[in-house]
Amino acid sequence: MTTQLIRHDWTTAEVQALFDLPFNDLIFQAQTIHRQFFNPNEVQMCQLLSIKTGGCPEDCGYCSQSAFAESDLEASKLMDVEQVLSEARRAKEGGATRYCMGAAWRSPKDRDIEPLKAMIRGVRDMGMETCATLGMLSAEQAQELADAGLDYYNHNIDTSEEFYGEIITTRTFQDRLDTLDVVRDSGMKVCCGGIIGMGEKILDRAEMLRTLANLTTHPDSVPINQLIAIPGTKLENVNLPHAIDFVRCIAVARIMMPRSTVRLSAGREEMSDEMQALCFFAGANSIFVGDELLTTDNPGRDKDAELMSQLGIQALPAFEEPALDKEPTNLQEASLQEISAPLHEERA
């Protein structure tokens, strides 16, 4: 059963069938699968720092750091190593177990690699997992970062290949996939997901998740972001998706990529406690903590601590792998077969 859950051959019709399931059936299936691979009452606590803000030459329609955005954001240079490490210490003291460093670049320049490596080593020495999102990488740059101890590299595909051109024109969808290959080849783990609520159709959400699930190796982390409509960006007037539609995306991601950490990422400031609880029940098991996510607001630590306490959720320790495969109980087996029957019929 466990082996059958790990697939890389999803069809569009199958993914659409998951999105079309009655909500209770979808959530039950996602939670059942989630429990086979993870402790359902543990959530990974990550913290994200913008180490180089603004002035990005890309035209991503959702981002205030784009040079094309009409925002008041002032561009800054790469932060000093010691400043980054000081922020990392505060993050660890606040309970973060993974530290993510983001820079608003198309790709890093070679001169940036040495200070980046120093940041990575410093954070690693604190006992935290390391992650970076720096734009496209050459094979040489990826290997240097991997050798310095970078555990994860984030590079999202954002949406479906079909809808992608509506959001970004300065970097192709294939550019993003090529960067994922470079990252994986270097030995780093891949963090890759997308954004919900940019005006895309449900089919686009299905195709985005299908692209990720059909990669040769599933991303180790899959961040699912809810669009933050930032004034001055191309998408400032886009309406938020319905909460249930967003939870469906979390559940489908969990079903399609059972071993991946599914991160309830940007947009939590606009989510109710009840919506977040549904996301955790649907299989999300990672969040960003802290007051900010790059340039946008995020729920504060006290608010998150209160929510986790209400739900009985504990922080996932650093460097913990998914739980060992467990054979499902007869009840789990029967329930999954009953719910999944339409999917198997579709494939046949």
| CATH code of the domain in which 286 resides | 3.20.20.70
Q: What pLDDT band is residue 26 in, cutting at 50, 70 and 90?
A: very high
Q: Does residue 347 lie within any of the structural domains?
A: no
* Active-site residue list: 56, 60, 63, 100, 131, 191, 263
Q: Quote the CA–CA distance of 151 and 188 in Å, as a whole number.
A: 6
Residue 272, pLDDT > 50, answer yes
Q: Does residue 7 lie within any of the structural domains?
A: no
| 131 assigned to a ligand binding site | yes
Domain tally for the chain? 1
Q: Where are the alpha helices (DSSP H) in the chain?
A: 2-5, 12-20, 23-37, 81-93, 110-125, 139-147, 161-164, 173-186, 202-213, 243-256, 273-281, 301-311, 330-347
When pLDDT is averaged across residues 14-25 and rounded to a whole number, the result is 98
Q: Does residue 93 lie within any of the structural domains?
A: yes
Residue bearing the bigger pLDDT, 268 or 258: 258
Residue bearing the bigger pLDDT, 274 or 346: 274
Q: What is the pLDDT of residue 343?
A: 53
Q: What is the pLDDT of residue 246?
A: 97
When pLDDT is averaged across residues 98-121 and rounded to a whole number, the result is 93
Contact 169, 206 (CB under 8 A): no
pLDDT in tens, 307-347: 989 999 998 887 776 554 444 444 444 444 544 554 555 44
Q: Does residue 116 lie within any of the structural domains?
A: yes
Q: Does residue 243 lie within any of the structural domains?
A: yes
Q: What is the pLDDT of residue 329?
A: 42
Q: What pLDDT band is residue 295 in, cutting at 50, 70 and 90?
A: low
Residue 163, pLDDT > 80, answer yes
Q: Does residue 6 lie within any of the structural domains?
A: no
Q: What is the pLDDT of residue 330?
A: 40
Q: What is the pLDDT of residue 328?
A: 44
| 263 assigned to a ligand binding site | yes
Q: What pLDDT band is residue 20 in, cutting at 50, 70 and 90?
A: very high
Q: What is the pLDDT of residue 1?
A: 41
Residue 135, pLDDT > 70, answer yes
Q: What is the pLDDT of residue 322?
A: 59
Q: What is the pLDDT of residue 331?
A: 41
| 279 assigned to a ligand binding site | no
pLDDT in tens, 185-221: 999 999 999 999 999 999 999 999 999 999 999 999 9
Q: Minimum mean pLDDT among 75-84, 112-121, 181-190: which range?
A: 75-84
Residue 73, pLDDT > 80, answer no
Residue bearing the bigger pLDDT, 305 or 209: 209
What is the β-pairing status of strands 129-133 and 189-191?
unpaired
Q: Does residue 346 lie within any of the structural domains?
A: no
Q: Does residue 214 lie within any of the structural domains?
A: yes
Which own/partner contact pairs does 107-115 have at CB distance under 8 Å and 24+ positions apart? 107/134, 107/135, 107/136, 107/137, 107/138, 107/141, 108/134, 108/135, 108/137, 108/141, 110/141, 112/78, 113/141, 113/144, 113/145, 115/78, 115/81
Domain with 89 in it = 12-313
Residue 302, pLDDT > 90, answer no
Q: Report percent pLDDT > 70 for the chain.
A: 88
Q: Quote the CA–CA distance of 275 and 72 in Å, as a whole number.
A: 31
Q: What is the pLDDT of residue 291?
A: 58
